A and B are shown apart, each in its own frame.
Chain A
């Protein structure tokens, strides 16, 4: 100690000691607390969000309507009418999610995405029925900005009053799908916590199953490594359909892609069928469309039987109350 510095008073020395002791105790406390919180990192538990969106069936009304005509919007309107009108499906104040196929960077004429007029008409109907909010979204395969714009769906749905949601990477939540092959998967969050879900797929050729119809559209709910789903495509389809259990399915067969699906691009691959198939039984609906447009039997599409066994509906469309109309 240099001779000219004043001697340390007892009081100052005590304060100094207390400070050091405090810091030491704090460090020890924090250290012990942290060491007790050391465990191997595990990913967050997936949210269990499974709940159906179906409505009670009505023996007076058809389960399926097949409408043919020139104007896609009119077809959608008529199909819903035949099934009992939109108010049967949508209650005042409902939050409705409309799920078209907006998977590819293609225009409506190329028939790789759902017809925008059909989507817009469904949105309009839901709004008229008093829905609080109508969401239109999909997880596109190609760049979603382009798919939403060039498919014409974003514009048409927005004009009809829908809330069009581009899939943001931050918008996926890990969900336990409680399926047989699908468990924890990232799901686009608007699919969770809605009252009603309307599936609006388009019928297309697909090399693995021959055709892609209604149930395959649920792929668009998922993020993550969904390309692995093809390895067990039938089981995956049923798991997804079982998870969602939609209120209504409206299959767009106005233009169908008969070759080089699901991307297409060549107008020679497109057939004009001017048909819409709507129904509350997604299994019968897929079975019917497969037979009508691809001449595929139930045995060609194993997922139909699996879905029936899971209680999602019957594949025997002949026994389903059906309304077939040409406008």
Chain B
């Protein structure tokens, strides 16, 4: 049997890892089980696996928290082989890299012949990613996880999970709806069959919606479209994980060896070069840029290129300039003080900055959160959304609970199970204290406190019976209590209604009342962050008495 071509093996590996990634992303959803009951609900797959393999997330987490959260040690599985082999991860495993690879290989008017060859030469701007890496790692030291804006898995999960997949879901459901409501029974049957199949593999249980979703999608499409100008522009110029792996590949013992005698300057090695690392003769090979895609070896008609262990020729590393490195260090150091010199972070917290259950206090939260969107993807009530400006520019795309769209489910702690960095620390339903022994847990997790807008509340303002908020309140004794009051309706008749009040000592801030309030547009009861258990300062009461 002939051994398959190395480039074929690489494509196979890329497809397999991409499919694994996609599968895990699609399963970052609670689908419910009709055959199990009453157990602590966990997802059946390790859905944040790729984050645990990401050395960038691990280093950022270590720098900001002086520890490594659950599972992040696995990233050594990627980091250590890279020291020996180089950036094989970028060329063979990274699902975002594979997407770029695929779109780069499509024909493009802007990338043909001489233009293509020229665009695949090493460029100075490819060092941008190293400076971005330096800025964000220094920022991590100062306590912010903004590295997640650029981390490839954060970018991918955020873009696909919060925008592309929901859009796909919407489109497919609309299409299936057309089929299933067709006047022809035959078409209906096809529609139902398709619905069944797609429901099992692709569709969400219910259509998800995310704030800012369109912008996440636009950014992603833009980054992908750049490949039509320059092959894998993202990987070459921007990806901080690629930069990190490029730096550690400096000691790699596997390298490209060029035989100048064989080279007749045909430039074919440049045609399909992914990294822009100059495999051509006459110039040094840029080891830190190479993705080990092996296209150049495959392409060379004279067999003048090959990878060797302990190569005689020395490649070029990251090619950094001292002045720019210093600028990067300074920029990283300045970033956190700058963004926190506005009052939003500490002095004037946004009243609606409701964080998921288990979230650490804001400073610790922001230092660990990598804005990846796993928690938002997994939330069964579609309650978590990427923040825009509620907590300042630094907290862009961090999760906030929007109770009007979805409240925090009593027994659910899935967001804390999927969070790869411990920004939402893993808690159990028992620790959350809303589902077992309700009312007896000493310290239930509290997200905030509910308040009434009596001008909009039916029994308060409109002499109409309601009590839906009290019905939904999950604590026991209920945080919402009722008092019968005599009111006069518009006709002048006296009648009795039950008016709701709130006991802040019992309220856990789940938002069920706000979600269920029948005043559809702006609810008559709403939750704000005061009283959240993660903060010692954002409180109302001197002591919260035990229930």
**Which residues of A approach B to under 8 Å, CB–CB?**
105-108, 110, 116, 141-146, 148-156, 158, 164, 166, 168-170, 206-208, 225, 227-228, 230-231, 233, 259-260, 262-269
Contact = CB atoms under 8 A, between A and B. Distances in A.
B515 to A, nearest CB: 10
A260 B464 CA distance: 22
A269 B205 CA distance: 33
Contact of B409 (A146, A154, A156, A208): A146
A88 to B, nearest CB: 30
B37 A142 contact: no
Contact of B474 (A150, A156, A206, A265): A265
B518 A105 contact: no
Contacts of A145: 30-32, 205, 380
28 contacts: A105-B435, A108-B38, A145-B205, A146-B30, A148-B32, A148-B34, A149-B34, A149-B36, A150-B38, A150-B41, A155-B33, A158-B34, A168-B205, A170-B177, A207-B482, A208-B471, A227-B517, A227-B518, A230-B465, A230-B466, A231-B464, A231-B466, A260-B476, A260-B478, A263-B471, A265-B435, A266-B476, A269-B476
B438 A166 contact: no
B417 interface: no
A259 B437 contact: no
A179 B411 CA distance: 37
Contacts of A228: 518
Given A208-B467, A266-B438, A142 B476 contact: no
Given A170-B180, A230-B471, 15 more contacts: A107-B435, A145-B31, A150-B41, A152-B37, A154-B33, A155-B34, A156-B37, A170-B177, A207-B498, A208-B465, A227-B516, A231-B466, A263-B474, A266-B438, A269-B476
A264 B33 contact: no
B476 to A, nearest CB: 4
B438 A146 contact: no
Given A169-B206, A206-B471, A231-B465, A146 B518 contact: no
Interface residues of B, number: 49
Contact of B411 (A141, A150, A231): A150
Contacts of A233: 465
The 8 closest A-B pairs by CB, nearest first: A145-B32, A265-B438, A266-B476, A152-B37, A227-B518, A260-B476, A155-B37, A154-B34
A15 to B, nearest CB: 36
A144 B380 CA distance: 10
A33 B412 CA distance: 55
B458 interface: yes
B520 interface: yes
A151 B37 contact: yes
B309 to A, nearest CB: 53
Contacts of A225: 518, 520
Contacts of A151: 37
Nearest to A228: B518
A66 to B, nearest CB: 28
B409 A259 contact: no
A154 B276 CA distance: 56
Nearest to B478: A260
B511 to A, nearest CB: 12
Contacts of B34: 148-149, 154-155, 158, 164, 166
A151 B205 CA distance: 19
A266 B437 contact: yes
Contacts of A266: 437-440, 476-477
A188 to B, nearest CB: 14
A141 B409 CA distance: 11
A195 to B, nearest CB: 22
B435 A106 contact: yes
Interface string B215-241: 000000000000000000000000000
B37 A154 contact: yes
Contacts of B439: 260, 265-266, 268
Nearest to B438: A265
Among B32, B439, B472, B517, the most chain A Cβ lie within 10 Å of the Cβ of B32
A59 to B, nearest CB: 40
Contacts of B37: 116, 149-156
A121 B470 CA distance: 33
Given A170-B177, A207-B471, A225-B518, A146 B32 contact: yes
Interface string B1-43: 0000000000000000000000000000011111111100100
Contacts of B412: 105, 143, 146
B409 A142 contact: yes
B94 interface: no
A228 B458 CA distance: 10
B539 interface: no
Contacts of A110: 438
A164 B205 CA distance: 15
Contacts of B520: 225
Contact of B41 (A146, A158, A207, A263): A146
A207 B37 CA distance: 29
A260 B180 CA distance: 42
A107 B206 CA distance: 24
B306 interface: no
Nearest to B473: A263
B410 interface: yes
B173 interface: yes
A231 B459 CA distance: 10
Nearest to A162: B34
Nearest to B33: A149
Interface string B494-527: 0000100000000000000000111010000000
Contacts of A149: 32-34, 36-38, 41
A143 B472 CA distance: 12
Contacts of A156: 37
Contacts of A267: 437
B18 to A, nearest CB: 28
Contacts of A265: 410, 434-435, 438-439, 474-476
